[in-house]
Amino acid sequence: MSKSYQPFYVLHGASSSLVIDCRENAASILYWGPRLGQETSPEMLALLKIRQEAKGCTEKDAPIALSPEYGAGFIGNAGIQAHHSGRGWGVFSQIQSIVFVDESNQLVITSSCEASSIEIVHSLAIDPKSGVLTATTKITNLGDTLLDVDQCNAPTIPIPLHCDKILGFEGRWASEFQLRNVDRFIGTYLRENRAGRTSHDTFPGVVIHAEKTNESVGEAFGLHLGWSGNHRIRIEEQSVGRAYAQLGELFYPGELRLAPGESYCSPTLYGAHSDNGFSGLSRCFHSYVRSHLTDLRVAEKSKPVHFNTWEAMYFDLEFGHLCELADKAAEVGVERFVLDDGWFKNRNSDNAALGDWFVDEAVFPNGLTPLIDYVNDAGMEFGLWIEPEMVNPDSDLYRAYPEWILRVPHAPLVMSRNQMVLDLTRDEVQEYLFERLDSLLSDNAIAYLKWDMNRDLNQPGDSEGRAVAHYQTLAVYRLLERIRRAHPKVEIESCSSGGGRADFGILRYTDRIWTSDTNDAIDRLRIQKGFSFFFPPEVMGAHVGPSDCHTTGRTISMATRATVAMFGDMGIEANLLEMPCDEFSELKSAVALHKKHRKLIFSGDLMRLDLPSYESGFGITSEDKKEALFSYALIDSQPHSAPGAFRFDGITRESLYEVNIIWPSTPYYYSEGILDAINGAILSGDALMTVGMQLPIMLPQTMLIFHLKAVE
């Protein structure tokens, strides 16, 4: 068959290029990196990549194709692993057609394997502005028998050998997005998640970088799977001197079986390349989220400051106290009042009533309307907490429909948080939940839903004994989409015991991510740093908690708690009725400062700073570099009697800036120093970046915010 397509295809982003090699039976990535000049042709790259036959190896290496194939002799992990009752397992495909979609800068490659009776469609696109790569793999059963799919990963990414460091993300409840750097090695780096949600411990993202890459310089690749369920990250270095990365969904045995004519498409792989360090990588992802995943109704609105009742009141809800709390919240500058757990029928603790989504008449005899009216009259939107995917054994719903839960029928039921998981793949469960949520939103002026999901899917089986974790995730998306379509003005937060469901997949249906259940500001610095690798500040829920943190017991000043919350989607979760007057006044000033600068925070370019472990810092600059905010934190005692300098990376060397310390309102003074002289000073960007500012002597767990404004 004569080929009617080109041997190479090139996709360009603003600062990157992707070259696809279609000369063999299966397409592969020939190059992904800094944007190529017009004088560089794909043929030149192909010439430069000619390999020799290595001793003790095959005459020719099996290609690291978009989906590497066992039939081609690939001895790594095949991108597609499928079979018809054990036959047709050795996929060996042939390209059938290639379509370039100019308006979306997208390449669609269709291949087929006659022996396996499958069609494979690889779709790859480069966003011209952000440079973010989006890529999927779709498989269709062309046979007349069931096709068992064990793996169908997103397109495989070859990794250059000089990028030999792997930066992964790990953690636990209340300590998400922790960074873990390891050296790549001959063999396999593998992270698998079977939590049924994104998870607290295995975020579906990874950064692969060169040894000397830091926040501002050096080469790095970032990869993220936009999927809110089970997943696998695999990075393999082969002994023949090649390396590749694969990300894809993880299936339970027999979970994905395609009938004749049925298809499956992998979750989208989001990738970015940077030769401007880790922060350059993050700016690519932030730009993509803002332009492609942020709904217009949110993008065109100032994100309101939250108040959430949880750590202020827990289950002790009383109308009078809630109204008093609303008054104080309005006084401090809050724009959205969120009623958390405890509002629904018989919900006096976390042991009962999940699933019974009816307003508790014992607490609210006239429904939620009087409280909503009170909140609205105080100038605030009203939000409500829900956890629709779960059910308690002690609930009317479970007593009526015990068969509605996920479980492994022949095994003892595994409980967690005294909760069970509803089987959302059942139509009747979908209908019940939609009816309840639709009624709540139709009958009440609710502007916001905090959508929680507080346990793993330990036994994701349906009533027929089949694993359905994949279908459960799709069902969650389907319910969210249906709610959004019925109530397009309602904003939704993705909460899952904190950051247990945080990914680009869930962001297609939600507007905010609750980053972590801890409001400990010191822990939050590390958590929010890891989160910022892929997510911009405006989707990062960040709250001012009580002075004595409820998850760690650590006592932290209001100035520090407010500073950390100020650089995200700011909220408050402390009991304002019991807050000392000086703290309340300081919080009010912090809220006002956040409002003054939130347009910059939610649209600017992030530059994390390379600092020792006892310090933390970052800057956010406007696109034209004429304005910037910088945050510096001394986390722990420093090794010297006096500190060093703070360099303002990310601004323009040629500009002059007026520098002011704008927070805290009353900085700590040990003795006279730069705090007495810096405010209002006009300094060059060159001096600020190269020499930096002498830091004052500070106490551990204290912070400073600098404001830079370009002047003529």
Length of the chain in residues, anyone? 712
Strands 491-494 and 605-608, by their bridges, are unpaired
Tell me if residue 183 is catalytic: no
Helix 427-443 crosses helix 469-486 at what angle (to 10 degrees)? 30
Active-site residue identified among 21, 423, 517, 605: 517
At 511, the amino acid letter reads D
Looking at residue 290, what DSSP letter applies?
I
Cβ atoms of 66 and 9 closer than 8 Å: no
Phi-psi region of 342 (alpha: psi -120 to 50; beta: other; left: phi over 0): left
In the block, tokens 């004429």 appear at 626
CA distance 271 to 222: 5
In the block, tokens 């469609």 appear at 121
Task: Give me the sign of the Cα torsion angle 156, 161, 162, 163.
Answer: positive
Radius of gyration of the chain (CA): 27
Token output for 300: 């065109």
Say which residues have a Cβ less than 8 Å from residue 637's Cβ, sequence separation at least 6.
614, 700
Active-site residue identified among 452, 462, 511, 520: 452
CA distance 270 to 136: 9
Token output for 618: 């970052």
Residue 622, helix vs strand vs coil: coil
Looking at residue 416, what DSSP letter applies?
B
Say which residues have a Cβ less than 8 Å from residue 103's Cβ, sequence separation at least 6.
none
* Residue 127 C-beta-side C-alpha neighbours within 13 Å: 21
CA distance 222 to 227: 16
Q: Which of 454, 455, 478, 506 is nearest to 224 (CA)?
A: 506
Tell me if residue 452 is catalytic: yes
Token output for 172: 């636990």
Cβ atoms of 232 and 195 closer than 8 Å: no
Strand order, beta sheet including 231-238 = 157-159, 242-249, 231-238, 187-193
Catalytic residues: 452, 517
